[in-house]
Copies of this chain bind each other. A is one copy, B any other.
Amino acid sequence: MTTKDLVEQIRKKKSFLCVGLDTDLEKIPTYLLSEEDPIFTFNKAIIDATHEFTVAYKPNTAFYEASGKKGWKSLSRTINYLNEEYPEIFTIADAKRGDIGNTSAMYAKGFLQELGFDAITVAPYMGKDSVEPFLEIRDKHTILLALTSNEGAFDFQTQKIDGVEMYKKVIEVSKTWKNSERLMYVVGATKAEYLEEIRKIIPESFLLVPGVGAQGGKLADVFKFGKTENIGLLVNSSRGIIYASESSNFAEIAGAKAEVLQREMAQLMDTM
Candidates B67, B96, B130, B161; contact of A166 at CB < 8 Å: B161
Do B106 and A24 touch (CB < 8 A)? yes
Q: Which residues of B contact A166 (CB under 8 A)?
A: 156, 161, 166
Closest chain B residue, CB of each to CB of A161: B159
A24 CA / B98 CA spacing, docked (Å): 18
Q: Which residues of B contact A153 (CB under 8 A)?
A: 126-127
Candidates B100, B109, B124, B162; contact of A150 at CB < 8 Å: B100
A66 CA / B22 CA spacing, docked (Å): 21
Q: Mask for A137-161, Cβ within 8 A of B = 1, else 0?
A: 0000000010011111111110111
Do A68 and B110 touch (CB < 8 A)? yes
Do A110 and B152 touch (CB < 8 A)? no
Q: Which residues of B contact A63 (CB under 8 A)?
A: 103, 106
With an 8 Å Cβ cutoff, the count of chain A residues facing the other chain is 59
A196 in the interface (beta carbon within 8 A): no
Do A145 and B157 touch (CB < 8 A)? no
Do A22 and B69 touch (CB < 8 A)? no
A115 in the interface (beta carbon within 8 A): yes
Q: List CB contacts (< 8 Å) of A97-130 with chain B.
A: 97-101, 103-104, 106-107, 109-111, 114-115, 123-130
Do B97 and A62 touch (CB < 8 A)? yes
Q: Which residues of B contact A99 (CB under 8 A)?
A: 60, 62, 94, 96
Q: A65-B107, A126-B148 are in contact. List 18 more A-B contacts (CB 8 A).
A: A62-B107, A62-B110, A63-B106, A66-B109, A66-B114, A68-B72, A68-B110, A69-B76, A96-B98, A96-B99, A124-B125, A126-B153, A127-B154, A130-B152, A156-B166, A159-B161, A159-B162, A166-B166
Residue positions of A touching B, CB distance < 8 A: 22, 24, 60, 62-63, 65-69, 71-73, 76, 94, 96-101, 103-104, 106-107, 109-111, 114-115, 123-131, 145, 148-157, 159-162, 166, 169-170, 173, 215
